[in-house]
Amino acid sequence: MPAPRVAFRRRVLNPALYVEWTWPRGSYGAPEELEARLILERDFGDVRVVANPTLTRAWSGDESQRGTSVGLVAGIYERRFWVVQPGAELFWSMGSVGDWPAFRRQYFLLGPSADVNLTPALGVHVAADFGVTDGTDRLMVRGFLTYQFDTFRPSARQMSRTVSAPQGARPADRGVPQTRPSIQAVVEG
């Protein structure tokens, strides 16, 4: 009986949809807001490229009259090192659809970032983003804590032990990459 063959497929992108409802305390004065973000990412060897087009709509306060605003969050990250993984990030809010201000008045941040893995499941993301337009803060320092839960999907290493890969396959092609859901506590200032 011939050995079973396993067909391998490579995904061009690893997409996800992220939706966030912000409901601030009344004393804070910020509007209730809904944000939808399409998360697109792709690994090229040790480099991860991420592009997240966003739609944001305020549901209360003065900003609710503006309509839906369009933005982009993008980044490129070096994943070669396990403990500290450097990167560069971009945040761009173009403004409300159909009523885009001049570029110099749009919200545009650019800066370095780093992911620091404290344990295989616990990490910290830090970034210092600099405003490049008049409509942006000069500096935004961000940091958030992540925790990744284990999943039931086997890792590539586990798959390579149980599934025979085709002749000449790279180690990364021998199994399903492990993805892990995460919780993020965001602190921005």
- pLDDT at 91 (0 to 100): 92
Question: Residue 131: CA atoms inside 13 Å, Cβ hemisphere, count?
Answer: 14
**Which is nearest to 87 in space by CA: 115, 108, 123, 129?**
115
Number of domains in the chain: 1
Q: Which domain does 37 fall in, by range?
A: 16-23+30-188
Kindly state whether residue 2 falls inside one of the protein's structural domains: no
- pLDDT at 164 (0 to 100): 47
Return d(Cα 124, Cα 83) in angstroms, integer: 10
Among the ranges given (5-19, 51-65, 78-92), the one the predictor scored with the smallest mean pLDDT: 5-19
Q: Between these two residues, 141 and 183, which has the higher pLDDT value?
A: 141
Query: Which whole-number Å values give the CA distances from 86 to 27, 112, 116, 174, in the listed order?
Result: 37, 7, 9, 27
Kindly state whether residue 8 falls inside one of the protein's structural domains: no
pLDDT interval class at 58 (50, 70, 90) = confident
Most confident range (mean pLDDT) of 18-27, 36-45, 60-69, 109-118 is 109-118
Q: For 100-132, how does the pLDDT look when each residue is reduced to its tens digit (9 = 90+)?
A: 888 888 889 999 999 999 998 899 999 999 999
Averaged over 148-169, what is the pLDDT? 56
Return d(Cα 178, Cα 67) in angstroms, integer: 39
Whether the per-residue pLDDT at 152 is higher than 50: the answer is yes
Phi, psi (degrees; rounded to nearest 5) at 181: -65, 155
Residues 6+ apart with CB under 8 A from 95: 69, 70, 101, 106
Task: Decide the pairing of beta strands 107-117 and 47-58.
Answer: unpaired
Q: What percent of the chain has pLDDT over 90?
A: 35
Kindly state whether residue 6 falls inside one of the protein's structural domains: no
Kindly state whether residue 11 falls inside one of the protein's structural domains: no
Averaged over 2-27, what is the pLDDT? 69
The tokens for 113 are 């970032």
Kindly state whether residue 5 falls inside one of the protein's structural domains: no
- pLDDT at 172 (0 to 100): 46
Kindly state whether residue 3 falls inside one of the protein's structural domains: no
Cβ atoms of 55 and 70 within 8 Å: the answer is yes
Among the ranges given (79-83, 87-91, 98-102, 119-123), the one the predictor scored with the smallest mean pLDDT: 98-102
Kindly state whether residue 83 falls inside one of the protein's structural domains: yes
Kindly state whether residue 9 falls inside one of the protein's structural domains: no
Q: Return the amino acid letter for 183.
A: I
Averaged over 81-100, what is the pLDDT? 89
